[in-house]
Structure 1
Amino acid sequence: MHYFSQTFNYDHSWARVIIGMWHKYPNPHCSHVVTVDVVDRSVDPRTGVIRTERILGCKQRTPVWIVKLFGGSEDAFVREISFIDPSTQTATISSVNLTLSQFATCNEMIHYSPAPDGRTAFHQTAEIETRVAMWRSAADKLEGWLATRFEQNAQLGKVGFTDVLRQLWEDAKEQKPAHAGA
């Protein structure tokens, strides 16, 4: 099993980051995410927690040996479930691959919460595990490739989301018309 973890702060308030979360895709840094479909959304009337389930469609260049050995294609799908709690200002997003999950799984967890100075803390973890014990060398290669790909995409996601937030909030400030006589 491979583990991945990263933590950092976005230079935006929790509310702005959560609004930005819904605008993350498409963006040029994460061009592998080609579709995002909301399949369910609900609000718990007692707690106010918003639950959203989405399916992300991805397209990535998969090594030929993976396609030959395990089948499939460059198309992959990920199930994402998020819980946004406005009262505690926390957001938790979990995702798992649907494609080729009989051979390998990638369980990702993301957590957003307020940080000092009006920023937002981001914590991301992932566990990547293959399920093909009878082909240990192929399983090790597959797990290594998946872990490397996940790390690359996580870094692209961080850069892409930073750009999305900048475009949503910092560029918007620059485009506000000046008030007459102010």
Structure 2
Amino acid sequence: MHYFSQNFSYEHPWSHVVIGMWHKYPNQHCSHVLSVDVVDRSVDPNTGIIRTERILGCKQKAPIWIVKLFGGSEDAFVREISFVDPTTQTATITSVNLSLSQFATCNENIRYSPAPNGRTAFQQTAEIQARVGLWRSAADKLENWLVQRFEQNAQLGKLGFSDVLRNMWENKQQQLQA
């Protein structure tokens, strides 16, 4: 199993970041995310917590050896479940790959919470594991490739979401001041 984690903060208040979450895709940095479909959304009447389940459709360029060894296609799907708690001002997102999950899984966890000076803390972790039934050398190669791909996509996601937030909030502020 391989792990990935990163922490940083966005220069926007929590409420702006949470609204921006729903507008993250499409963006120019994450062109591999082709579709986002809301499967279910509900609000707990007692707590006010918003639960949303979405399916993300992606196009991933897999190395030839992975396609030959495991089959499949470049089309990939991810299940994402988020909880937005307006009382505690936390938003958590968990996601897992649906495609090729019989060979490898990627469990991702994200948390947004208020940070000092009107910023929002971002915490992201991922556990990537190839299935035991694979040859160990193939499993190691697959995990290494998946971690590298995840790290690349995480950096693109950070850039893309920063652009989305800037376009939604900073440009709006400039327009209001003009």
TM-score, structure 1 as length reference: 0.96
Give me the whole-angstrom Cα distance separating, in 2, the residues matched to 1:50 and 1:104: 30
How far apart are residue 7 of structure 1 and its match?
A: 0.3
1:151 aligned onto 2:151: yes
In structure 2, distance between residues paired with 1:144 and 1:77: 20
Deviation, 1:89, is 0.3
Question: Residue in 2 aligned with 1:175?
Answer: 175
> Could you say which residue in structure 2 is the equivalent of 1:87?
87
> Gaps (5+ residues) in structure 1?
none
Choose 1 or 2 for highest CA Rg: 1
Equivalent AA in structure 1 for residue 64 of structure 2: V
Which deviates the most, 127-136 or 8-17?
Answer: 127-136
Amino acid corresponding to residue 159 of structure 2 in structure 1: V
For residues 87-117 of structure 1, the C-alpha deviation after alignment (integer angstroms, 9 at most, x for no partner) is 1100000000000001000000000000001
Give the aligned partner of residue 55 of structure 2.
Answer: 55
Q: 1:118 corresponds to which residue?
A: 118
Say if 2:8 is the partner of 1:4: no
The secondary structure found in structure 1 opposite 2:124 is strand
Deviations 1:61-107 (A, max 9, x none): 11111111101100000000000000110000000000000100000
CA drift of 1:176 comes to: 2.2
Letter matched to residue 62 of structure 2: T
Cα distance in structure 2, aligned partners of 1:177 and 1:10 = 22
Residues 93-108 of structure 1: pairs in structure 2 closer than 5 A: 93-108=93-108
Distance of 2:57 and 2:132 partners within structure 1: 24
Tell me, yes or no, if structure 1 residue 46 matches structure 2 residue 50. Answer: no
Give the percent of matched residue pairs that are identical in Structure 1 and Structure 2.
Answer: 78
Unaligned runs of 5+ in 2: none
Return the letter of the residue paired with 1:52: T
Residue type at the aligned position of 1:110: I
Matched, 1:64 2:64: yes
For residues 133-162 of structure 1, what are the alpha-carbon distances to aligned partners after superposition, in whole Å with 9 as ceiling and x for unaligned? 441111111110000000000000001100
Q: Hey, what does 2:28 align to over in structure 1?
A: 28
Distance 1:93 1:58 in 2: 18
